[in-house]
Amino acid sequence: MLNKIPVGHKSIDDYSSIIGFDYIQSLKQKASKINKLKILHLSSTAYGGGVSEMLYTLVPLMKSIGLDVSWQVITGDEEFFITTKNLHNGLQGADFIITDYMVKAYKRRSKENAKLLDTDADVIICHDPQTAAIPYFCDKLDKYKKTAWIWRCHIDLTCPHSSAVDLIKDYVNQFDGTVFSSPNYIKPELKTDNHYIVYPAIDPLSPKNMDISSHTINELLSKVGIKTDKPVLTQVSRFDPWKDPLGVIDVYREVKKDIDLQLLMVASMASDDPEGWHYFEKTARHAGNDLDIHLLSNVYGVGNLEVNAIQKISDVVIQKSVREGFGLVVSEALWKGKPVVGTNVGGIAVQIVDGDNGFLIENTTEAVQKILWLLSHKQQAIKMGKKGKQYVKQNFISPRNLMDIIDVIIDIAA
């Protein structure tokens, strides 16, 4: 058996002040078309990163509108996760190495997971490349032939390495439907006849995004040793080359030449990300002895509420990713009324309306200019932050994600 992930209770009715009664009614109505189906989400980790963040809200919200849904996590060892991380890198367009040995490890573990899968689900939504080969191996094992299989890919497929695509395309073709986070990610080899765009979303009521009082913020900050005596620039992201933490430090150093500020870098360690610690050390070395650079992590007590508080007290949030499937952190910051300076890539470009709720930048120099401008134009920065919150409310909150996923399931399986 694979591990079943317990999720807390959430009620869709609690969201009515944000999305309105009619939207909730229409969610419930649509859900009634598929409430006889059993639905399973299959992912590779229950902690760290955007997929688990989203599922902790999506799964209970699906339940709350009457759907029969659960979430299981596949098994994997270091060999498997190193292989899938390399595959992820190749799909995002980096040079990557996957040896024959690694391919065998991927197949072996996928087959093992297919054997362990024990479900009566009518619809299985597999997240990301880690789970992409499971329907293929289930088919070989003569299992779940009547199941509707959906692949939801969360990574940036703007310019994938063709050999990475070759490695999974036959597996992806086994699915009944594919879901991507941006129209730019649809590649002929990696889609099925039924393919959809669903933007990921944040939960406005979760501990990470809910309103918290200034008193609580102060308590949380003092617990993790953060003061607000200098302007705050923040990036919340795993320590990972794709998130360019070293580049963030370079930007901060340039800004500091004109305005004395501090940099908060918050990074959780994901269990399916073997590179995390290695990159943490690299980032720490690059930061050197600068006492205004704070490297914070879940391992040192920076959990959801602390991330919330840190985003709330930030003056500017930066997201300097080289590629970004979506980047929930951008919506999280915008939701807190913070202008975001982000690279013009993948999902960041979907969320930032340049010059309106933040700035899209191409390089370090532009990032420095925009951050300096925001730090020295407080009123304009506040206005942009307000627009950002509105934009997220309209486009990137969890009830909308729920609506889109229900539409996909209705289309494929009802």
Burial 100-130 (b: 16+ CB within 10 A, else e): eebeebbeebbbbbbeebebebbbbbbbbbb
Stretch that binds ligand UDP, among 168-176, 191-199, 297-305, 368-376 (CB under 6 A): 297-305
Token pair recorded at residue 201: 């979303």
Q: Helix H segments across 224-263? A: 245-256
Nearer of residues 83 and 319 to ligand UDP, judged by Cβ = 319
Contacts of ligand UDP in 126-185 (CB under 6 A): none
Stretch that binds ligand UDP, among 48-56, 156-164, 212-220, 284-292 (CB under 6 A): 48-56
Min dist CB 362 to ligand UDP, Å, is: 20
Please choose, from the candidates 309, 242, 56, the residue with its C-alpha nearest in 3D space to the C-alpha of residue 296: 309
Stretch that binds ligand UDP, among 19-27, 326-334, 354-362, 399-407 (CB under 6 A): 326-334
Stretch that binds ligand UDP, among 63-71, 177-185, 298-306, 338-346 (CB under 6 A): 298-306
Min dist CB 179 to ligand UDP, Å, is: 15
List the one residue from 327, 337, 342, 346 that touches ligand UDP (CB under 6 A): 327
Min dist CB 176 to ligand UDP, Å, is: 25
Neighbours of 142 (CB within 10 A): 7
List the one residue from 150, 266, 295, 340 that touches ligand UDP (CB under 6 A): 266
Within 13 Å and on the Cβ side, how many CA atoms surround 157?
Answer: 25
List the one residue from 10, 19, 39, 50 that touches ligand UDP (CB under 6 A): 50
Q: Is 198 in the site for ligand UDP (CB under 6 A)?
A: no
Burial of 79 (0-12, 13-18, 19+ CB in 10 A): middle
Please choose, from the candidates 174, 206, 167, 218, the residue with its C-alpha nearest in 3D space to the C-alpha of residue 193: 174
Stretch that binds ligand UDP, among 55-63, 160-168, 302-310, 368-376 (CB under 6 A): 302-310
DSSP-based three-state secondary structure for 67: coil
DSSP for residue 38: E
Token pair recorded at residue 85: 């991380």
Q: Is 268 in the site for ligand UDP (CB under 6 A)?
A: yes
Which residue's CB comes closest to ligand UDP? Answer: 50
CA torsion angle 186 192 194 197 (round to 10): -20
Nearer of residues 49 and 337 to ligand UDP, judged by Cβ = 49
The H-or-E segment that residue 242 falls in is none
Token pair recorded at residue 139: 């088919």
# chain residues binding ligand UDP, by CB under 6 A: 20
Contacts of ligand UDP in 207-246 (CB under 6 A): 208, 236-238
The H-or-E segment that residue 238 falls in is none
Instruction: Name the residues that contact ligand UDP, by CB under 6 A.
Output: 49-50, 53, 208, 236-238, 266-268, 297-298, 302, 304, 307, 326-329, 332
